[in-house]
Structure 1
Amino acid sequence: MTYRPLADEIRPQTLDEVVGQRHILGENGLLRRIIKGGNIPNLIFYGPSGTGKTTVANLIARRTNRPLHRLNATTASIADIKAIIGDIGTMLAPDGVLLYLDEIQYFNKKQQQSLLEFIENGKITLIASTTENPYFYVYNAVLSRSTVFEFKPIEAADVLPAVDRGIRLMAQRLEGEAVCEDGVREHIASACGGDVRKAMNAIELLMNSARRQDGKLLVTLEDARMIAQRSAMRYDREGDDHYDILSALQKSIRGSDPDAACHYLARLLEAGDLVSACRRLMVIACEDVGLAYPQVIPIVKACVDAANMLGLPEARIPLADAALVMATAPKSNSGESAIDAALADLRRGRTGDYPRHLQNIHADSAGQEREQGYLYPHAFPHHWVRQQYLPDTLVGTRYYEYGDNKTEQAARRYWQEIKGE
């Protein structure tokens, strides 16, 4: 008997059997209505693996009278596309074809362009899937001729019925009765990270390795934890997940949520990405805490240095200290705002000559030195004297605005008193 993976055998045969994706496949979901209507447009399915993209594409194929061609962009070539195009209009495909193109992000621009003419005239109905953001990876001309649907990670409660089906099917295969300890089903459903395929793979391993006793297959929670460990992690250093986790970490610290900061830092460290965690924490120190607590920059630098010296798993401790110090610190982005405003002026051409008194004394030719007129602040009370520093064309321009935190407001009051403002 030919081996068939459980994840493939349990694949839904109707839309009602598809788990999750209620926002597009629920009773009034737009994608469900499109599929039931039978007039299938070009579609792009975007979302994590194991969330039903291929399953839905198969269900769509059954509703059309067109032959289905499957290509995986990781291995397909222009020759494969030409072979499909060659069938169009022949007895093999008189009304065109339905092309399911998996991982379309791996097709280069030329490969995607080769489909355009036939997508345009309707001879090819394209259903493409991708785990990456299609607005970054799919050629604009293809994207504009397609409707994008996002498939979201499946909630544990929605995965549970699929887990039960998988356990029943494996018990039938193995000709035994499955006896699962309390918590096994729920653990698999939650530990798969919204990926039904991972859940089915875990069930297959668990059931095949289960101890037999009086015709019963005993599945323990300890075994379930062992098999499903780390499987909830979705992380690809080159993909969207990488940037999503980093973004979530920074926004959580910026939003002063220490618990969320710990969660997203833990996800980075569990994936072993020490470098990205260290770099992003340094960015946050400068960008989001900044002048509200300027001492945080050397503090975070010390934590990062300690983490790199220690390595994982010990590195988690100084990095957690850094994340929590920043999550609970006052916040200011006044430094970033100031430099960005100055850069924006430069890029608009707002510059000007240096004031004469700020130039390097060596700017004059030998023997033609002129008095600069520079006033040395340290020679004046409070080490300050009024003089022009910006170019003439920018006099009066203000880039830096004091933040409303205690540190910057104290500096503001100090200089207002000295400058008499």
Structure 2
Amino acid sequence: MNEPLAERIRPKTLKEYISQQHLIGKGGALTEQIKKGIVPSLIFWGPPGTGKTTLANIIANESGRPFYTLSAISSGVKDVREVIERAKKSDGLFTSKNPILFIDEIHRFSKSQQDSLLGAVEKGWVTLIGATTENPSFEVIPALLSRCQVYVLNAFGKKDLEALLNRALEQDAFLKSKKIELKETEALLRLSGGDGRKLLNIFELLVNSENSEPITITDELVKTKVQKNTVLYDKTGEQHYDIISAFIKSVRGSDPNAAVYWLARMIEGGEDVKFIARRMVILASEDIGNANPTALVMANATFQAVNTIGYPEARIILSQCAIYLASSPKSNASYLAIGKAQQKIKETGDLSVPLHIRNSPTKLMKDLGYGKGYAYAHDHQDNFMEQEFLPDEIAGTTFYNPGNNARENALRDFLKKRWKDKYGY
């Protein structure tokens, strides 16, 4: 019994598949496409152990397509081209059931490796299904991304994980031969971090660690048998999310010492430098913003630098940036402003652009009043002329309220001189 439990009970049909009902449940985004067997090239994006590989296999099985699989960890351009050549020669080439090429961890493919897929996807030689734990917007080249539909798979919820455990007990021959009682599962579920594969691995470890029956699964058993052996930093599990959260909150809370500590935890755990730097770019805008605009420049420069340098020297650059961001004044005013604007759009819909600020490249548009009455700011004193830029229905609405810090207080004074009392500055 060398095959892992997760592999032994891997579902083979949609009916057996647990979770991701937003994709394969009633009215799910993929349900009808799978039933009809006409599936576009896809990217499955989600945390580890959420069924990306399983779903790809099921799609191939239920649509009756040839299935080829590659791992981005161990495959190169030569492997990709060989699979594509085999796919081109398959019987399904000139039907809607062209072969499926599944690439696990596609984010690990280099640009040239991803480029090698473009022709096959474009010409329909294969239907590509890529699986990634990283944001495809950053890790998949635009040309390939534009040819694929991206679907997000969510971490398993409590009910999904419980269903997975019960299935294992009901279906796996080895577990059925044992007397097992699930008395308490809270610690087991929590330790899995929403990762179905990890849950089953831990469960199997618990069962194998007990020499006598019945085997009673309790929170205490999990703590004594598993947590002592858990690595300090699991960059694909719960620790990954907890520690990046601690890091972000330390920077937001202006504590450079805590920020460097949590940064060091990630570095020691082998976290991807791009992941850390990307989070700092977001944080620089979300939590610092116009209180110190240079923070975004610094964070973006860090992102570029660590991609070039790599470990171990990248740790110095990350440390410098983390300390700078933590020591900067904070403002989330820009973050709040875009949120308010988006909410207003949801409430009011697509309001018409006022005529005077519409584009008027043709005579007809000018005759219809497009651009009429618009005041070109640079033709007026201080490069400003008060006029309305928002739709009439929401005229005068304030979205941006400057934060209480030196730079944004200066911005508030500037805006107040321009707009007087219109926006309440």
Say whether 1:225 aligns with 2:223: yes
Deviations 1:244-266 (A, max 9, x none): 63785379759xxxxxxxxx999
Q: Summarize the alignment of residues 18-417 of structure 1 with structure 2, pairs less than 5 Å apart.
A: 18-90=17-89, 94-95=93-94, 96-169=98-171, 172-173=174-175, 175-181=177-183, 183=184, 185-212=185-212, 215-229=213-227, 235=235, 245=245, 249=249, 287=288, 405=404
C-alpha distance in structure 2 between counterparts of 1:332 and 1:128, whole Å: 36
Equivalenced residues, count = 300
Q: How far apart, in 2, do the equivalents of 1:13 and 1:210 lie?
A: 30
- State the shift of 1:35 in Å: 1.2
Match of 2:386? Answer: none
Are the aligned partners of 1:53 and 1:129 in contact in 2 as well (CA < 8 Å)? yes
TM-score norm. by structure 2 comes to 0.57
Q: Distance in 1 between matches of 2:80 and 2:408?
A: 65
Supply the AA of the counterpart residue of 2:126.
Answer: I
Q: 1:45-96 deviations in whole A, cap 9, x for unaligned?
A: 0111100101100100102333211100111112212222222443666544
Distance in structure 1 (CA, Å) of the matches to 2:408 and 2:53: 57
The CA deviation string for residues 154-173 of structure 1, in whole angstroms up to 9 with x for no partner, is 11222111022224456744
Q: Per-residue deviation at 1:104? A: 0.9
| Percent identical residues | 32
Question: Does the 8 Å CA contact 2:181/2:217 hold for their aligned counterparts?
Answer: yes
Residues 288 and 37 (structure 1 numbering): CA distance in 2 closer, same or farther, change over 3 Å?
same
What CA distance in whole angstroms lies between the structure 2 residues aligned with 1:407 and 1:109? 43
Matched residues in 1 for 2:123 and 2:149: separation? 16
Q: Deviations over 1:265-303 (max 9, x none)?
A: 9987876879989x97x979x948979xxxxxxxxxxxx
* TM-score (norm: length of structure 1): 0.58
Unaligned runs of 5+ in 2: 293-325, 335-380, 384-400, 411-425
Cα distance between partner residues in 2 of 1:202 and 1:129:
23
- Structure number with bigger Rg: 1
Contact 2:66 2:99 in 1 (8 A): yes
Q: Alignment partner of 1:99: what SS? A: strand
Structure 1, residues 110-147: CA drift from partner, whole Å, max 9, x if none? 22222222211211111111111111111111111111
The one-letter amino acid paired with 1:206 is: L
SS of residue paired to 1:129: strand
CA distance in 1 between counterparts of 2:63 and 2:17 reads: 19
Deviation per residue, 1:346-376 (Å, 9 max, x gap): xxxxxxxxxxxxxxxxxxxxxxxxxxxxxxx
Cα pair 2:291 2:408 within 8 Å, conserved: no
Distance in 1 between residues matched to 2:120 and 2:74, nearest whole Å: 21
Structure 1, unpaired ranges of 5+: 255-263, 292-322, 335-394, 412-421
Q: Counterparts of 1:20 and 1:233 in 2: how far apart (Å)?
A: 27
3-state SS of paired residue (1:12): coil
Distance 1:141 1:409 in 2: 40
Deviation at 1:41, TM superposition (A): 0.7
C-alpha change, 1:410 and 1:20, in structure 2 (3 Å) is closer
Quick one: which amino acid aligns to residue 210 of structure 1?
E
Once residues 263 and 169 of structure 2 are traced to their aligned partners in structure 1, the CA distance between those partners, rounded to angstroms, is 32
1:23–1:50 distance in 2 versus 1, CA, 3 Å: same
Q: CA RMSD in A?
A: 4.8
